[in-house]
Structure 1
Amino acid sequence: MPESPEVQALADELDERLRGHEITAVDVVEFRTVKTRTEPPSALVGERVESVARHGKLLDFSFATAHLVVSLGRHGWARYAADGPMDASDDGRPPALAIVEFDDGTVLEFTDAGEWVSLGMWVVDDPIAVPAVAKLGPDPADPLFTRADFDAAVAGRRKQVKAVLQEQESLAGIGNAYSDEILHTAKLSPIGHAAALDETELDGLYASTVGVLSAAIGDRRGVPIDRLKAEKVASMRVHGRAGEACPVCGDTVRDFTFASTTAQYCPTCQTRGEALPLRSTD
């Protein structure tokens, strides 16, 4: 699932390339992606992009009279079509579910590689009209994010720390991968409850949350959008590394199942050497 560092890099690239350009055509291949049926993306033909920004894990294309908000969901992404729209079914690439053409010849395709459609698009007057944007908590990647924001979201919560980090209403933009990386850096168990963290542990978790995301955003800056997902995977220290050696202590990274998703941790760094049950219960 795309998370804030990759979506920020994607938004920055699209803002630089598309700002000031006019939409000349929109083709929605999969109607289920459109969440505002009375205001379809085709209504934006003739509009010029004023900016492209990020809200949590969502993209926001701003125009003079409207916003196109795109949720990439679990398996969605964007790519450029070099020679106009193309059928990806014969080359192993995920299919384009929506295609947007611009006056400079740029063709932007929104794709989804999942078995079910998770890509979503809204045309609204204000991004806050999109429920997924309206519910977002403070964003740890925002330079204005403070320790007070963090404490309000995390401190005292009677919930597993990993769940709190991934809860978009509490902290925007973090998913399964970066929550694993944050907890590994903070040397905290993913199944420990936030309410059990002492002040020193909260200090470390705050620093790790901000530090891991900020570093990832810096590392993704300037990476071509077709390589962003691969760069994310390559950068992980524990997430997706089950069976490999922890880069900090050399112990074997292990799996456990969390909220129907497989996550990873290092026993030596995070659980005092204890192997967690494969399936977590809260």
Structure 2
Amino acid sequence: MPELPEVEALARFLGERVAGRAVGRVYPVAVHALKTYDPPVGSLEGQTVAGVARHGKFLDFRVGPAHLVVHLARAGWVRWSDKLPALPPRPGKGPLALRVLLAADAEGGEGGDGGERGTGAGAALSGEGFDVTEAGTQKHLAVYVVRDPRDVPGVARLGPDPFDPAFTLDAFRDLLGGERRQIKGVLRDQSVIAGIGNAYSDEILHAARMSPFKLAAGLSEAEVEGLWAAVGSTLADAVERSRGLPLKDLKAEKKSGLRVHGRTGEPCPVCGDTVREVSYRDSSLQYCPTCQTGGRPLADRRLSRLLK
């Protein structure tokens, strides 16, 4: 699942290529993925892309007066191409959910003014653009066309972003203060902190040398400070590793940079102990017993306690 570092990299990569360009065609191939109808998706055609932003795990393309907001869910991705076919793609059972083609006329006018650029239905297409795809049979990818990104329910519910200057140690301490849940679940809750998912919550807890089952409200001051630092450094390092990479390499870079997540049975790169796993119904977490739980393996999640 793309998380904050990958979506940040996508936003930067795409922003460099589409800002100031006009949208030529938008093809909503997977109708189930389109969650809004007003404004219509066709209203984006002929409009200038002012830029690409990120809200948690949401991509936000500012197109004229509207926003094209995409949530990639578990198996979604964005693929850039310099040579997309001009013919409309056929709806089917394939992974393609949305195609956006840029207009050939890249001159005239500055991006960001939200105005028309004379590239309506008859505009020539450049061949440049991107596909939004979703692998697998479970289709959860979501596309919204809205006037304000906060009109998207998932964006409206987001907690503070770890890269926001307001995400201070004091603010983090306040977020955890009333939480009687396990810290793993708190870190993944998008209404508490935006952008952290299953993979990077594992990595953050490993960097902080903290059990994923520890109660958030019970953390000591030293533990809160260490966890806050681990959030910032882990995410910043992941974004930096992705800087300048083509989109096709981002997934491999994420996997190669993970120290415990997805590495069950492998040696911990810090202490050499074997990375272990706790399975959920539809996901799992990984951790190092020596680094995080005093050498003791965690029990099944249903027990929510350490094995004795």
Q: Report the TM-score when normalising by structure 2.
A: 0.86
Structure 2 residue 196 is matched with structure 1 residue 174 = yes
> Identity over the aligned pairs, expressed in percent?
48
CA contact (8 A) 2:44 2:64 kept: no
CA contact (8 A) 1:97 1:109 kept: yes
User: Please, which moves more after superposition, 40-49 or 179-188?
Assistant: 40-49
Aligned to 1:91: none
Q: Deviations over 1:27-84 (max 9, x none)?
A: 1111011110233322211111001000000000112311111111111110023431
Aligned to 1:199: 221
Aligned to 1:211: 233
Change over 3 Å in CA distance of 1:100–1:258 after alignment to 2: same
Structure 2 residue 38 is matched with structure 1 residue 31 = no
Aligned to 1:41: 41
Q: Give matches, 1:28-177, under 5 Å.
A: 28-85=28-85, 95-104=95-104, 105=126, 106-177=128-199
Give the Cα separation in 2 of the matches to 1:70 and 1:146. 28
**How many angstroms does 1:195 deviate by?**
1.6
| Structure 1 stretches lacking a partner, 5+ long | 89-93
Aligned to 1:238: 260
Give the letter aligned to residue 39 of structure 2: E
Aligned to 2:11: 11
SS in 1 for 2:49: coil
Give the Cα separation in 2 of the matches to 1:176 and 1:201. 20
Aligned to 2:2: 2
Q: Which structure has the bigger radius of gyration?
A: 2
CA contact (8 A) 1:138 1:149 kept: no
SS in 1 for 2:24: strand
Give the Cα separation in 2 of the matches to 1:280 and 1:246. 25
Task: Give aligned pairs, total.
Answer: 277
Give the Cα separation in 2 of the matches to 1:26 and 1:15. 17
SS in 2 for 1:123: strand
User: Please, which moves more after superposition, 97-106 or 238-247?
Assistant: 97-106
CA contact (8 A) 1:74 1:114 kept: no
RMSD: 1.7
Give the letter aligned to residue 184 of structure 1: H
Q: Deviations over 1:135-182 (max 9, x none)?
A: 000011234421122112223410000000000000000000000000
Query: After TM superposition, what 4+ stretches of structure 1 lie above 6 angstroms from structure 2?
Result: none
**How many angstroms does 1:226 deviate by?**
1.1
Aligned to 2:298: 276
Give the letter aligned to residue 266 of structure 1: C
SS in 1 for 2:261: coil
Aligned to 2:288: 266
Q: Report the TM-score when normalising by structure 1.
A: 0.94
